[in-house]
Amino acid sequence: MTLKYFNNLAYEEIGEENDETILFLHTKLLDKWIWIKQREGYENYFKDYHCIFLDLPNHGDSISEEEFSINKSSIEISEFINHIINNKGIEMVNIVSLGLGGSIAIEILNKNPHFIDNLIISGPEIADYKESEPNSVVNELAKVQSEYLNEKSDMFITKAYLRYFGISKEHYNDVERILDIPIKQEKKIAFESLNYTIPESLKDNKDIIEKDNILIIYGTKEDLNCTKSAIDLKNIFINAKLVEIIKGNHLWNIIDPDLFNTIISNFIRDHHIEDNSRINILE
């Protein structure tokens, strides 16, 4: 696939001839490569769709001199969605998101609900309140991490990330790209991700919170914040579907792509979630 740009946003796409569009938004610190199994499964699961794999601002090939923020990212990606909608002559797009990508998708939904058809949020990270940045847990952890990792090799750090994400060493070179992110920028991305709170304006918008085209997913091997965040989101989006992936971790789209692709494609097509021994549907 050819790397393309819209302003500073880098993306790859497949199935451009199709009208119905799926925009994939990745989790923090990684980039569009994490959708490799969805690209490989295109013919079996997504061949009727135009699939766009985007690098979030300040990630991957979406290089920006400005500081990262979820708000700024939602504005830039909304402009990209508007461009796609106008260029293709369609009304809206579907969004599939992981982690930080889900927080950005929620912001887009709040500001431009008419842009989004189906919304899938996996491994959400939602905070109860926003910390003061100078005194945040993220900053304290970054200090400890910096002191510890300064003594470690790039290979050690990359292998640690592979273990953290639960993925195999075949993705070593992809994960190693995290080391190219400046420490200051990495801290800002982590702070934004771990301190995202749901806008009050969204909670008060009946048309949004009663949507039935939202799927929320979490894995039992993700950290407890993802589980709590998923349940909290379900309490806000009262008609959303909530699915638990047994033994699923944050990047289950890579580890168990057939299950991921089946659930995502079925939900986008007709909101059907096929019964499976690996999932619990918690409605």
pLDDT on residue 149: 52
Domain range list for the chain: 4-127+199-281
What pLDDT, in 10s, does the model give residues 209-257? 999 999 999 999 998 899 999 999 999 999 999 999 999 999 999 999 9
Q: In angstroms, rounded to a whole number, what is the distance separating the alpha carbons of residues 242 and 122?
A: 10
Q: What is the pLDDT of residue 8?
A: 95
Residue 51 confidence class, pLDDT cut points 50, 70, 90:
very high
- For the ranges 76-85, 133-142, 176-185, 223-232, the lowest mean pLDDT is seen at 133-142
Strand order in the sheet with 93-98: 4-6, 9-14, 50-54, 21-25, 93-98, 116-122, 214-219, 241-245, 279-281
What are residue 147's phi and psi, to 5 degrees?
-65, -40
CATH of region 4-127+199-281 = 3.40.50.1820
Looking at residue 35, what is its pLDDT? 98
* Chain segment 6-24, per-residue pLDDT in tens: 999 999 999 999 999 999 9
What is the mean predicted confidence (pLDDT) over 267-274? Answer: 94
The pLDDT value recorded for residue 152 is: 78
Mind listing the pLDDT tens digit for each residue in 88-109?
999 999 999 999 999 999 999 9
What proportion of the chain, given as a percentage, has pLDDT over 70?
93
**Is pLDDT larger for residue 126 or for residue 135?**
126
**DSSP 8-class letter at 68:** P
β-strand pairing of 214-219 with 50-54: unpaired
DSSP strands (E only) in 16-59: 21-25, 50-54
Distance CA 82, CA 67 (A): 23
Residue 184 has a pLDDT of: 85
Which pLDDT band, with edges at 50, 70 and 90, does 146 fall under?
low
Residue 131's pLDDT is 78
Where residue 200 falls among pLDDT bands split at 50, 70, 90?
very high
Taking 60 as the threshold, does the pLDDT of residue 138 lie above it? no
Residue 144's pLDDT band, with cuts at 50, 70 and 90, is very low
What is the pTM (predicted TM-score) of this model? 0.93
**Helix H or strand E encompassing 183:** helix 183-194
> What pLDDT is attached to residue 182?
85
pLDDT band at 130 (very low <50, low <70, confident <90, very high): confident
